Amino acid sequence: PVESATLERAPAAGGREPAELRRLERILTELEPVRRAVITLHYLRDFPVVEVAEILDLPEGTVKTHLFRARATLRAAWERETSRELL
């Protein structure tokens, strides 16, 4: 699982509020394990797609597909949670 400490050290976390980091962590846990791994390696660990593919023993195209679909899932979940907070 992605730990809070991992998110706090991630380059993308710069300037994020702790509540936003907790929300992101919660949303990440909803992803399928392979998609969570791809997102974690690429965005939080800063590995290029080719290295993510090598680490996970997947074709590069599959990694790109997982990234695309995971981003869509994350975006929808983020928007859903944000709209709940506004109610």
DSSP states along 31-87: S-HHHHHHHIIIIIS---HHHHHHHHT--HHHHHHHHHHHHHHHHHHHHHHHHHHH-
pLDDT at 5: 47
Q: How far is the C-alpha of 39 from the C-alpha of 50, rounded, in Å?
A: 13
Paired tokens of 32: 């399928």
Q: Which domain holds residue 58?
A: 4-86
Comparing 12-16, 47-51, 54-58, 66-70, the range with the smallest average pLDDT is 12-16
- pLDDT tens for residues 61-70? 999 999 999 9
- pLDDT tens for residues 7-43? 545 555 556 678 888 888 889 999 999 999 999 999 9
Q: Identify the CATH number of the domain in which residue 54 sits.
A: 1.10.10.10
Domain count for the chain, please give it.
1
